[in-house]
């Protein structure tokens, strides 16, 4: 997207077709079973779809990305998502606030900035939800700038993803939306 002027129109069209084929609907898993995407996976796909829409100058694609977001802001009582107590679950039953939860708020913070001032902007109520997640989901799990490993799942074993690096990602995400 940033290098738009450096690409030939045919290359943009070709890349655009590939992006559209890989993620035809950011709200649905592309596994042939019409399974809804959830949490961080849904936000990742929405961000890609929004960037795709910008790249190919397709407002309907950006609108589709935005339309995929409301379910991730809903408080859940089971399965993937944020719970009333501030916990975040991904993959049915794993406490993943410090991994998938971070990916989700990081992607959402990018979408907030990307779509700000457009007809597809993230609502103020949704931004307020992001602030609440920081206060009730992330702040209790941070110590000296690090996210506690107990909510990082398999990410705790990744070599270049220590708890301080992830803590900085959280802080950058919330800095991004605090305008």
Query: In whole angstroms, how far apart are CA 39 and each of 4, 45, 82, 101?
Result: 30, 10, 8, 8
The continuous run of DSSP H or E covering 88 comes out as strand 88-90
Distances in Å between the Cα of 60 and the Cα atoms of 24, 48, 52, 56 are 12, 14, 11, 11
Number of other residues whose CB lies within 10 A of the CB of residue 145: 13
Instruction: Report CA-CA distances (Å) from 142 to 60, 80, 98, 147, 158.
Output: 39, 22, 9, 5, 18
Q: Which residues contact 90 (CB under 8 A, 6 or more apart)?
A: 38, 39, 40, 41, 80, 96, 99, 100, 101
Rounded to 10 degrees, the C-alpha dihedral 10/14/19/25 comes to 90
Q: Give catalytic residue positions.
A: 41, 91, 100
């Amino acid at each position: 997207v940033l290098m738009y002027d450096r690409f030939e129109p045919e290359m943009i069209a070709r890349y655009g077709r590939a992006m559209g084929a890989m993620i035809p609907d950011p709200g649905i898993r592309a596994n042939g079973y019409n399974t809804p995407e959830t949490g961080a996976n849904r936000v990742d796909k929405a961000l890609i779809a929004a960037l795709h829409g910008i790249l190919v100058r397709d407002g309907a694609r950006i609108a589709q990305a935005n339309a995929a977001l409301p379910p991730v802001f809903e408080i859940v009582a089971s399965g993937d998502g944020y719970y009333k107590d501030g916990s975040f679950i991904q993959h049915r039953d794993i406490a993943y606030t410090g991994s998938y939860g971070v990916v989700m708020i990081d992607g959402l913070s990018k979408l907030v900035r990307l779509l700000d001032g457009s007809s597809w902007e993230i609502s103020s109520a949704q931004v307020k939800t992001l602030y609440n997640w920081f206060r009730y989901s992330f702040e209790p799990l941070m110590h000296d700038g690090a996210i506690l490993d107990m909510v990082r799942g398999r990410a705790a074993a990744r070599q270049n993803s220590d708890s301080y690096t992830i803590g900085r990602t959280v802080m950058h995400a919330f800095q991004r939306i605090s305008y």
